[in-house]
């Protein structure tokens, strides 16, 4: 089965204008990011395919994984490694049918029961949050907090990737819940030095030791 990397860096060009999605992905990869999630909500479909394809080429050179936020068609067109689906997006089972067994299908949830439901839909991992307050996404549910995250970790059959307000200052506490990994956006794109920010986060994750128990027994074979 598929193994999921422990650090996902999400691209953004709306909270900041210093770097494009492609440039931000390049900087994150220089810092050692194992997974990039390309998330763009505007622009034409053609532009999103072009950008995703450019990021895919960068990821291939670094041996990193590329996930596309929401869009299965862009995932296919760019030959990305997988897709991350929001709760109101295409059903995970249908995405799996279109993408096939070799691609990653992840999905969002905001509580423990949601993670269980996502696992039943056949996702490879569930992104869970927000853990802390964040200004990078407006339409979020209530804050989960560390206690809520720990409860979700204890019951989830699939690896959980925590998201929402995660930074170098709190990532150790997040990882201490046993969660498989974290996804970050503002901690990188709003940093003065995205390369250093990613390197520091990756270092903190590696220093935390092996991943927690959330879904870890179900992952083997292909490290992505």
Contact between residue 82 and residue 106 where contact means Cβ atoms under 8 Å apart = yes
Tens of pLDDT along 166-195?
A: 999 999 999 999 999 999 999 999 999 999
**Catalytically annotated residue among 6, 26, 96, 108:** 108
Residue range 21-41: mean pLDDT, rounded: 97
E strand or H helix that includes residue 35:
strand 35-38
Residue range 213-223: mean pLDDT, rounded: 39
Which pLDDT band, with edges at 50, 70 and 90, does 3 fall under? confident
pLDDT at 216: 41
Active site (annotated) includes residue 26: no
Contact between residue 94 and residue 66 where contact means Cβ atoms under 8 Å apart = no
Residue range 115-127: mean pLDDT, rounded: 96
Q: Is a pLDDT exceeding 50 seen at residue 128?
A: yes
Active site (annotated) includes residue 60: no
Q: Is a pLDDT exceeding 50 seen at residue 4?
A: yes
Lowest mean pLDDT among 71-75, 130-134, 137-141, 179-183: 137-141
Location of structure tokens 């053609």: 46
**Catalytically annotated residue among 20, 53, 62, 137:** 137
Active site (annotated) includes residue 213: no
Domain ranges of the chain: 2-223
> May I ask the CATH class of domain 2-223?
alpha beta
**Catalytically annotated residue among 39, 40, 96, 118:** 39
pLDDT at 2: 76
- Which residues touch 10 (CB under 8 Å, ≥6 apart)? 36, 37, 39, 69, 183, 184, 185
d(C-alpha 115, C-alpha 108), whole Å: 8
Q: What are phi and psi of 35, to 5 degrees?
A: -140, 135
Which pLDDT band, with edges at 50, 70 and 90, does 209 fall under? confident
């Amino acid at each position: 089965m598929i193994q999921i990397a422990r650090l996902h860096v999400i691209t953004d060009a709306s909270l900041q204008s210093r770097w494009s999605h492609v440039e931000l992905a390049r900087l994150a990869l220089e810092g050692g990011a194992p997974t990039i999630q390309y998330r763009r909500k505007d622009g034409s479909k053609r532009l999103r395919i072009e950008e995703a394809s450019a990021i895919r080429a960068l990821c291939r050179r670094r041996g990193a994984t590329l996930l596309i936020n929401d869009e299965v068609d862009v995932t296919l067109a760019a030959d990305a490694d997988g897709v991350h689906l929001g709760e109101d997006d295409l059903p995970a089972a249908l995405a799996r049918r279109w993408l096939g067994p070799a691609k990653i299908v992840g999905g969002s949830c905001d509580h423990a029961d949601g993670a269980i439901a996502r696992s039943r839909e056949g996702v490879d991992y569930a992104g869970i949050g927000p853990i802390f307050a964040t200004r990078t996404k407006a339409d979020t549910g209530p804050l989960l907090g560390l206690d809520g995250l720990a409860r979700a970790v204890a019951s989830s059959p699939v690896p959980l990737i925590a998201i929402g307000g995660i930074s170098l200052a709190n990532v150790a506490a997040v990882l201490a819940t046993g969660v498989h990994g974290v996804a970050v956006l503002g901690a990188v794109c709003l940093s003065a030095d995205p390369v250093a920010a990613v390197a520091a986060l990756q270092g903190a994750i590696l220093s935390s030791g092996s991943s927690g128990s959330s879904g870890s027994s179900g992952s083997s074979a292909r490290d992505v």
